């Protein structure tokens, strides 16, 4: 490899490093905004909204992180059975 080719390679890698140094903070900020924006939830439907995250963080979300107990599941099943019997489905 000639000296001029090596110098070009060094210049290209230095230029790439400078471009990445300039672009990385911008893309990091944009990613942070996107991940925490209500627009992301509205467009994709994925993840909790900002309001839901606040409720979860403060432990106020309805059933946040809880699994119903066996008694609760039995009570729900009994209520559903009762509704079906009332309407003549069972």
Span 28-84, pLDDT tens digits: 999 988 887 878 878 887 777 777 878 878 877 655 456 678 888 899 899 999 999
Tokens of 69: 């107990």
CA dihedral 23, 26, 30, 31 (to 10 degrees): 60
Cβ neighbours of 24 (radius 10 Å) = 10
Place of tokens 């210049």: 11
Answer whether 84's CB lies under 8 Å from 78's CB.
no
The residues near 56 (Cβ < 8 Å, ≥ 6 apart) are 48, 64, 65
- Whether the pLDDT of residue 19 is over 90: the answer is yes
Long-range contacts of 40-47 (CB under 8 A, 24+ apart): none
Sorting pLDDT into bands at 50, 70 and 90, what band is 2? low
pTM score above 0.75: no
Tell me, what's the pLDDT at 37?
80
């Amino acid at each position: 490899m000639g000296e001029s080719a090596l110098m070009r390679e060094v210049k290209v890698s230095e230029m790439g490093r400078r471009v990445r140094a300039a672009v990385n903070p911008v893309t990091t900020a944009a990613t942070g905004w996107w991940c925490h924006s209500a627009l992301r939830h509205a467009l994709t439907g994925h993840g909790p909204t900002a309001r839901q995250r606040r409720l979860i963080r403060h432990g106020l979300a309805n059933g946040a992180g809880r699994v119903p107990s066996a008694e609760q599941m039995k009570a729900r099943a009994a209520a559903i059975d009762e509704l079906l019997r009332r309407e003549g489905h069972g």
